[in-house]
Amino acid sequence: MSTQATYTVTGMTCGHCASSVTEEIGEISGVTAVDVVVETGQVTVTSEAPVAREDVVAAVTEAGYVVV
């Protein structure tokens, strides 16, 4: 059974931004899918088990954006 968590990320303006965020979050162990909606800043993370918020925040920060 997979779990989903949604975050709001600021600073994304284009597809490249979404790709950067998707790539960084995708490297977190157990993550199976990342869905980014640039227009709203919504990032939905699907994973095999719940992922620690701080891991997602760290990945988004690494990509150069901010979780609010």
Kindly report, residue by residue over 16-63, the tens digit of the pLDDT.
999 999 999 999 999 999 999 999 999 999 999 999 999 999 999 999
Element of type H or E holding 54: helix 53-63
pLDDT value at residue 54: 98
Domain boundaries, the chain: 3-67
Residue 1 pLDDT grade (very low, low, confident, very high; cuts 50, 70, 90): confident
Residue with tokens 């931004």: 17
Architecture of domain 3-67: 2-Layer Sandwich (3.30)
For residues 1 and 3, which has the higher predicted lDDT (pLDDT)?
3
pTM of the predicted protein model: 0.94
pLDDT value at residue 52: 97
Taking every pair of C-alpha atoms in the chain, what is the biggest distance, in angstroms?
33
